[in-house]
Amino acid sequence: MVVPIAWYLVLSAALFSLGVCGFLIKRNIITVFMSIELMLNGVNLAFIAFANRWHQVDGQIFVFFVMVVAAAEAAVGLAIIIAVFRSRNTLNVDQIDLMKL
């Protein structure tokens, strides 16, 4: 049986939306970070689905790029989080608001 592409896309959209919701709702900066990863993977799924559907390799290559970037982002992002935690003793994003007017 062939799974219709719409199912993949629905799953992809669901993952992405969950990521967005987590990003917006959560206060802990690590959870926010994880939500971003979730969004990236939701997008990855859509890429793969389309690559499979159209039998083109572009989408898969894109996914590799996304994974590489995500890995780099994880490394840098976690380092930043640790630096922030050391200087401010909190991981609550609502308290890290120095850049407002």
Partner 1 sequence: MRPNLYLWLLPLYPLAGFAINGTFGRRLPKSLVSLVALAFPAAALAQVLWIVEQVHKGLALPYLQRFATPWIAVTGFHANFSFLLDQLTLVMLLVVTGVGFVIHLYSVGYMAEEDGYWRFFSYMNLFLFFMLTLVLAANFLLLFVGWEGVGLVSYLLIGFYYKKDSAADAGKKAFIVNRVGDFGFLLAMFLLIAHFGSLSYHVIFSNIAAHPAMQGGVLTAIALLLLLGATGKSAQFPLYIWLPDAMEGPTPVSALIHAATMVTAGVYMIARAHVLFGRSPMALLTVAAVGTATAFFAATMGIVQTDIKRVLAYSTISQIGYMFLACGVAAYSMGIFHLMTHSFFKALLFLAAGSVIHALGGVQDMREMGGLRKKLPITFWSMTSAVFAISGLFPFAGFFSKDAILAATFQAGAGGKVLWFVGLVTAGLTSFYMFRLWYMTFFGEPRYKEPTGHHGSHGVHDSPWVMLVPLIILGVLSLVGGWVGWPAALGGGDWFGHFLDPVFGVRGAAVSVPANFTLERILSGVSMLVALLGWFAADWMYRRRPLPAGLGGAGRQPIYRLVWNKYWVDEIYGALVVGPVLALSRSLLQRGIEFGVIDGTNRAWTAIAGDASGGVRRMQSGNIRSYAGWLAAGSAALLLVVIYFAHLY
Q: Whose Cβ is closer to partner 1: residue 57's or residue 94's?
A: 94
Q: Considering the complex, what minimum distance in angstroms separates the CB of residue 2 from partner 1?
A: 27
Instruction: List interacting residues with partner 1 (CB under 8 A).
Output: 20, 23-25, 27, 32, 93-94, 96-101
Q: Whose Cβ is closer to partner 1: residue 20's or residue 60's?
A: 20
Q: Considering the complex, what minimum distance in angstroms separates the CB of residue 6 from partner 1?
A: 16
Q: CB–CB of 17/43 below 8 Å?
A: no
Q: Considering the complex, what minimum distance in angstroms separates the CB of residue 101 from partner 1?
A: 5
Q: Considering the complex, what minimum distance in angstroms separates the CB of residue 94 from partner 1?
A: 6
Long-range contact set of residues 80-89: C-beta below 8 Å, sequence gap at least 24? 81/29, 81/30, 81/33, 84/29
Q: Is 42 left (phi over 0), alpha (psi -120 to 50) or beta?
A: alpha
For residues 93 and 101, what is the distance between their CA atoms, to the nearest angstrom?
17
Q: Whose Cβ is closer to partner 1: residue 76's or residue 96's?
A: 96
